[in-house]
Amino acid sequence: MDASVLTIVKGRSAHLRNQLRGLEQSSVLPKEWVIVGMDEDPPELESAGFPIRYGRVNSGGESEIPLAHARNKAASLASSPLLIFLDVDCIPSPELVQMFARVAEASPQLWMGTVGYLPSNAASGEWSFQSLANKAVEHPLLPRLDGMECLQSDRYELFWSLNFALPASLFSQIGGFDEDYAGYGAEDTDFAFMARAQGIPFGFAAARAYHQHHAVCKPPLNHFRSILVNAKRFREKWGTWPMEKWLRQFEELGLVHFDAEADELSILKVPTDDQIREAIVNTPAGF
């Protein structure tokens, strides 16, 4: 099954070039690579192995980058029956494209690949897949396949958009990502819930990618407003609160009033620039 690899990007040009380096070593090359820039034109890259298509979306003056819109734009530019979405931070293993194609042909559904998280500078300069594998660590919340090709699951809330695939026909059936979500937070969980609502199966596939390290905000105060907007959107749509851990952390900092049982979420004050800077951490694995 032919596959298009789809990547959305803002900055992170070195990470994007590492992704290209990974894709060019694929055991089965993608039919094409679609890159969509957010509020900027993506860097011009070349590959002898497959064509590269480019697109761009703009936030329209909003402070948050348009993640849902960008993913939908990438899907609209793709021409293959299988869509593989890779976060710009991900380096695909040589088997990733082939693995997704195999499991999607056997069971057309929503598949989430596995991700190994890399420490700082693990993918700087010259690297090999063996060195990445040796340094990568697993996320504690996600299942380990331990060599298994795939694992069916009903844990749709565990879906993350770092590394996933599904047939283009199912992406259209779901309706793409809900663009009413304002930037970062819950838009990928919503996508999985939309798949579940339409009876589309979900599972994990041993399609390995390596996540390149970057600093993170813990809690994500840099996405404070969008997380609140998106939490309310998700609650209205699905009747449950997403991202409760982050909302409770915001409450502990005196930034919000949050009462899940009373269905209440309101801003008390916004985080200061100093608070955001103090929340930035360089955890070894980047999560």
Distance CA 182, CA 251 (A): 21
Q: Identify whether residues 267 and 187 lie together within a single domain.
A: no
- The domain total for the chain is 2
Last residue of a domain, one of 168, 199, 214: 214
Q: Identify whether residues 145 and 254 lie together within a single domain.
A: no
Q: For residue 110, what pLDDT is reported? A: 98
For residues 129 and 93, the answer to whether their CB atoms sit within 8 Å is: yes
Q: For residue 62, what pLDDT is reported? A: 57
Q: Identify whether residues 93 and 210 lie together within a single domain.
A: yes
Q: For residue 283, what pLDDT is reported? A: 80
Q: For residue 63, what pLDDT is reported? A: 61
Is 286 inside any structural domain? no
Digit-coded pLDDT (tens) for 9-31: 999 999 999 999 999 999 999 99
- Residue 50 DSSP class: S
- Which stretches in the chain have pLDDT values below 50? none
Query: Could you tell me how many helices (H) and strands (E) the chain has, helices first?
Result: 9, 14
Q: Identify whether residues 241 and 210 lie together within a single domain.
A: no
Q: Identify whether residues 51 and 175 lie together within a single domain.
A: yes
Last residue of a domain, one of 164, 183, 214: 214
For residues 226 and 184, the answer to whether their CB atoms sit within 8 Å is: yes
Is 287 inside any structural domain? no
Q: Identify whether residues 205 and 247 lie together within a single domain.
A: no
Distance CA 193, CA 190 (A): 5
Q: Identify whether residues 227 and 96 lie together within a single domain.
A: no
Q: For residue 271, what pLDDT is reported? A: 97
Digit-coded pLDDT (tens) for 166-181: 999 999 999 999 999 9
Q: Which two tokens stand for residue 116?
A: 């190994």
Q: For residue 225, what pLDDT is reported? A: 94
Q: For residue 61, what pLDDT is reported? A: 63
Is 160 inside any structural domain? yes
Last residue of a domain, one of 214, 243, 271: 214
Domain span including residue 178:
3-214
- Measured at the CA of 119, the angle between CA 115 and CA 34, to 5 degrees, comes to 45
The overall pTM is greater than 0.85 = yes
Distance CA 51, CA 79 (A): 12
Q: Identify whether residues 190 and 228 lie together within a single domain.
A: no
